[in-house]
Every structure is written in C-alpha cells, then in structure tokens.
Amino acid sequence: MLVPEDDAAEARKRAHAKGLYPAPLNAGRSRNMQANRRRDTKPEVVLRNALHALGYRYRKDLLLRLEDVKVRPDIVFTKRRVAVFVDGCFWHVCPQHGRQPTTNEWYWTPKLRRNMERDARVNDTLRDAGWSVVRIWEHEALNDAIASVRAALD
Ligand SMILES: [Zn+2]
C-alpha cells in the first residue's frame, strides 16, 4: 500500500467532496447516523434504495431454504433467481480491510474463518440450485454495486 489506510481514507473523502471519487456504500456511516437518525444508512439499505429508485423491484429479508442451507440474502430477485449480499468488510474478511484481528485472536479468527466458510457454502449451494450470487463489499462505490447487480440481472 502506498499510503497508510487512514490517510487513504482521508484522501478518498477529500476527493469525494470534490466530486472526484464515487461515494462508498458506507460513507460516513456513524456520522450520518448522528446527524440524521431517521435515515437508515446501512450499506444494504443504501443499495436497496438506489435500486428501487431505478425501478427495480425485489424482495428483502426473504428466507431461502436450500438443502442443508437456510439463507437470507439482502436483496432477492425471485423471478430472475439473483441473490445479492452486501458483506461487511470486517465480518466477511474483505481483502482490503478485513485484516486479521490481533486482540482475542483465539476467539475472532475461528469466527471469521467460519463466516468465510459459510459464505463459500452458501454461494455453492445457491449456484447449484440455479441462482446467480452477487457479493458486494460494503466499501464498494454505489455505482459499481449497481452495475454488479444489473450485470447479474441481464
Ligand atoms: Zn473492504
């Protein structure tokens, strides 16, 4: 990495303020929550709202029962059989931000590993059943996330 992560985040924020960089799905989440408690700024909600505004209709919180796996994707297009997950960088171990925890490693590392294994099993089971699976990191730009969903729907 060319610059420390904090500096990179600051640089992105400044670039975004100038309109140079697309806003990440979780931009300023905690600050936004303080400034405007009524609006849910969770990354999956940001994406859902954007898709809805573009005219897409989907199910949320729909439980899919597949063989030995029960899973609740963040966004489901039932007719097209597309399941969308917006994954948190820490819990799902994003290659950019999901660094291994250094404190309480005996607890966290197996837990994170289990999360990764479950994600892989869910992907395989859904795909075997004929679903398209879209995994989006919470750090991704909204426009990129929308493009990924659209690509799966086409
Ligand atoms: Zn990330």
Q: Where are the domains of the chain?
A: 5-153
CA–centroid distance, 94 to ligand 1, in Å, is 5
* pLDDT tens-digit readout, 113-148: 899 999 999 999 999 999 999 999 999 999 999 999
CA–centroid distance, 96 to ligand 1, in Å, is 5
- Per CATH, which fold does 5-153 belong to? Endonuclease; Chain A (3.40.960)
CA–centroid distance, 48 to ligand 1, in Å, is 19
CA–centroid distance, 93 to ligand 1, in Å, is 8
CA–centroid distance, 98 to ligand 1, in Å, is 6
- Residue 71 burial class via C-beta count within 10 angstroms: exposed 0-12, middle 13-18, buried 19 and up: buried
More confident residue, 26 or 65: 65
Q: How confident is the model at residue 13 (pLDDT cuts 50, 70, 90)?
A: low
Tell me what pLDDT residue 136 has: 97
DSSP state of 24: B
Tokens read off for 85: 């997950």
CA–centroid distance, 88 to ligand 1, in Å, is 7
CA–centroid distance, 67 to ligand 1, in Å, is 30
Checking if the pLDDT of 16 tops 60, the result is: no
More confident residue, 60 or 23: 60
DSSP state of 131: -
Q: Which of 100, 98, 109 is nearest to 137 (CA)?
A: 98
* pLDDT tens-digit readout, 31-82: 444 444 556 679 999 999 999 999 999 999 899 998 888 999 999 999 999 9
Q: From start to end of the chain, where are the E strands? A: 64-66, 69-71, 75-77, 82-87, 132-137
- Residue 105 burial class via C-beta count within 10 angstroms: exposed 0-12, middle 13-18, buried 19 and up: exposed
CA–centroid distance, 34 to ligand 1, in Å, is 23
Q: Which of 148, 133, 146 is nearest to 23 (CA)?
A: 146
CA–centroid distance, 103 to ligand 1, in Å, is 20
Long-range contacts of 7-14 (CB under 8 A, 24+ apart): none
Say which amino acid occupies 149: V
CA–centroid distance, 79 to ligand 1, in Å, is 30
Q: How confident is the model at residue 3 (pLDDT cuts 50, 70, 90)?
A: very low
CA–centroid distance, 40 to ligand 1, in Å, is 20
More confident residue, 152 or 41: 152
Q: Which of 12-26, 101-115, 140-154 has the lowest mean pLDDT?
A: 12-26
Q: CB of 28 within 8 A of CB of 9?
A: no
Range of 21-25, 34-38, 67-71, 99-103 with top mean pLDDT: 67-71
Tell me what pLDDT residue 18 has: 52
